[in-house]
Amino acid sequence: PTSSHLVGLIGTGVGPSLTPAMHMAEGRAHGLDYVYRTIDLARLSLAPERVGEVLTWARMLGFDAVNVTHPCKQLVIEHLDAIDPVAADLGAVNTVLFTEAGAVGHNTDTTGFAHGFTEGLPDARLDHVVLVGAGGAGTAVADALLRLGCTHLTVVDLDVDRASAVARELVGRHPLAQVDASSFDKLSILLPHSDGVVHATPTGMAAHPGVAFDPALLHSDLWVADIVYRPLDTALLAAARAAGCRTLDGGHMAVHQAVDAFALITGLTPDADRMSQHFRRL
Ligand code: NAD
């Protein structure tokens, strides 16, 4: 690895992202000249479909790597020269390295959720897990849970067709696991017998306050993970603590996607605790 790095974040509305600060502080701690800049497609008046051109420009302008976020994680794939198998399975890429072999895609959302989960809820039972929210982030979480050894995953979404489609894809990728889809009104039947629940809808963010499902369904044998991280302490996590549940906040995934990306970009081992402490002060 060279000691100077130029990294970007391509997406729409990426201005407020905390990821640049996380990467640059960790770079400084390793004595690197590490510059991480946002490339906001909205501010540049570029349609998301032009992500391939942006990738080419970034490479020509000397970037070593880019993170890619909403709404380009799928769109970017056709512009890559190679893709890591985990990202290929998922059909979503959030990290692109510019190497001698060309643009190589990875997905550190899914590895980041897995590492954050192992860190924050070690020994959590994964026999039956309920995932609430089957969007892009929820799908990355689902794959991570199944790689971690979840044997039965139930996918719930307001859009039941979407939950079913995601469950079918997951079965294809993880044939040994039981994956099914269900609707919100079945949570009262599912949660009493589950080991844990992961929340992956936007509910609980400042713009979408509240809890996605009835918190009265939480019980002390359940672990509860929220991937919303703005705020870190959501109404769901407060209700889960009150019910006696073990909890995991969305900061673990947010930090570990950056930890894993930093490792891929630099070839160095970042200090995950240091990055987490820094993130939680931002
Ligand atoms: P998305 O829009 O792709 O998917 C959201 C899904 O939730 C959709 O399928 C939608 O039908 C469902 N949904 C929406 N409102 C709902 C409600 N009230 N009840 C039930 N289901 C509902 O979004 P996404 O990209 O998957 O992101 C979801 C959230 O995950 C984001 O808002 C963000 O807070 C969080 N996120 C966290 C991290 C992290 O690193 N911690 C990373 C990515 C996303």
55 and 74 Cβ atoms separated by less than 8 Å: no
All structural domains of the chain with their residue ranges = 4-106+253-281, 111-249
Q: How far is residue 4's CA from residue 205's CA, in Å, rounded to a whole number?
A: 36
Mean pLDDT by 10 residues, the chain (282 residues): 86 96 98 97 98 98 98 98 97 97 97 98 97 97 98 98 98 97 97 98 95 98 97 98 98 98 98 98 95
- Ligand 1 binding pocket (C-beta < 6 A) is 70, 109, 133-138, 157-159, 162, 200-203, 205, 212, 227-229, 250, 253-254, 257
pLDDT for the residue numbered 2: 56
Evaluate whether the domain defined by 111-249 bears CATH number 3.40.50.2020: no
Q: What is the DSSP letter of 259?
A: H
Same fold? 4-106+253-281, 111-249 = yes
Q: CATH top-level class for 4-106+253-281? A: alpha beta
* Helix, coil or strand: residue 248: strand
108 and 84 Cβ atoms separated by less than 8 Å: no
Nearest CA residue ID for atom 43, ligand 1? 137
In the chain, DSSP assigns E strands to 4-11, 33-40, 65-68, 82-83, 95-99, 102-106, 128-132, 152-156, 178-182, 196-199, 223-226, 246-248
Q: How far is residue 203's CA from residue 187's CA, in Å, rounded to a whole number?
A: 16
pLDDT for the residue numbered 184: 96
User: Is the ipTM, as predicted for this complex, more than 0.95?
Assistant: yes
pLDDT for the residue numbered 3: 77
